[in-house]
Structure 1
Amino acid sequence: MTGEEAAQFQALFDRLVRGVEEVVLGKQHVIRLAFTALFSEGHLLLEDVPGTGKTSLARAIAQSVRGTSNRVQFTPDLLPGDITGVSIYDQRGGTFEFHRGPVFANIVLADEINRASPKTQSALLEVMEEGQVTADGVTHQVTGPFMVIATQNPIEQAGTYRLPEAQLDRFLMKASIGYPDHAATVRILEGAARRAHDVRVAPVLSAESVVEVAALARTVFVDPTINDYVARLVDATRTSPEVRLGASVRGALALIRTAKTYAASQGRHYVTPDDVKALAEPVLAHRLLLDPEAEFDGVSPSRVIGRILVETVPPRSGEDSRADAL
Structure 2
Amino acid sequence: MTFSPAPITPPELATANQTIGAIVDAVARRVVGQVRLRETMLIGLLTGGHVLLESMPGLAKTTAAESLASAIDGTFKRIQCTPDLLPSDLIGTQIYDANTGEFVTKLGPVHANFVLLDEINRSSAKTQSAMLEAMQERQTTIGGERYQLPKPFLVIATQNPIEQEGTYVLAEAQLDRFMLKDVLDYPTPREEAEILQRIDQGVFDSALEPVCHADDILHLQSLAKRVYLDPAVTEYIVSIAYVSRNPEQYLPRELAQLVQVGASPRASINFTAGARALALLHGRNHVVPEDVRNLAHRVLRHRILLGFEAEAQNVTPEQVIDAMIAAVRTP
TM-score by length of 1: 0.91
CA deviation string 1:140-184 (max 9, x = no partner): 111211111111111111222111111111111111231111221
Aligned CA RMSD, in angstroms, stands at 1.7
- Structure 1 unaligned runs (5+)? 316-326
Residues 113, 121 of structure 1: 8 Å contact kept: yes
Match of 2:230 among 223, 226, 229: 223
Aligned letter for 1:120? Answer: T
Contact persistence 1:88–1:98 (CA under 8 A): yes
Counterparts in 2 of 1:151-300, with a 5 A limit?
151-193=158-200, 198=205, 200-240=207-247, 241=256, 242-300=258-316
- 1-structure distance, mates of 2:323, 2:55: 23
Please, which of 6, 9, 16 is the counterpart of residue 2 of structure 1? 9
One-letter identity of the residue aligned with 1:41: G
Relative distance call for 1:153 and 1:261 in structure 2 (3 A) is same
C-alpha contact (below 8 Å) 1:55/1:151 kept by paired residues: no
1:53 alignment counterpart = 60
Deviation string, structure 1 residues 95-120 (Cα, Å, up to 9, x no partner): 43321100111111111211111111
1:277 maps to a residue whose letter is R
8 A contact 2:19–2:212 mirrored in 1: no
Matched with 2:122 is: 115
**Structure 2: distance between partners of 1:265 and 1:4:** 15
Aligned pairs, number: 315
Match of 1:63 in 2: 70
Q: Which string of whole-angstrom CA distances, capped at 9 and with x for unpartnered residues, describes residues 277-304 of structure 1?
A: 1111111211121122223222211111
Q: Deviations over 1:61-99 (max 9, x none)?
A: 121121222111111111000000112234454443321
TM-score, normalising length from structure 2? Answer: 0.90
Q: Which amino acid aligns with 2:87?
A: P
What do residues 32-52 of structure 1 show as CA deviations (whole Å, max 9, x unaligned)?
A: 221111111111111101121
Within 5 Å, which residues of 2 pair with 1:16-55? 16-55=23-62
Does the CA-based 8 Å contact 1:23-1:199 persist in structure 2? no
Pick closer, same or farther for the CA change 1:200–1:149 going to 2, 3 Å.
farther
What code does the residue aligned with 2:268 have? A
Query: 1:59 is aligned with what amino acid?
Result: E
Paired amino acid for 2:317: P
Q: Shift in Å at residue 2 of structure 1?
A: 2.1
Q: Is the 8 A contact 2:52 2:180 kept in 1?
A: yes
Distance in 1, Cα, partners of 2:140 & 2:46: 22
| Residues 105-142 of structure 1 deviation map (CA, whole Å, 9 limit, x = unaligned) | 11111112111111111110110011011223322111
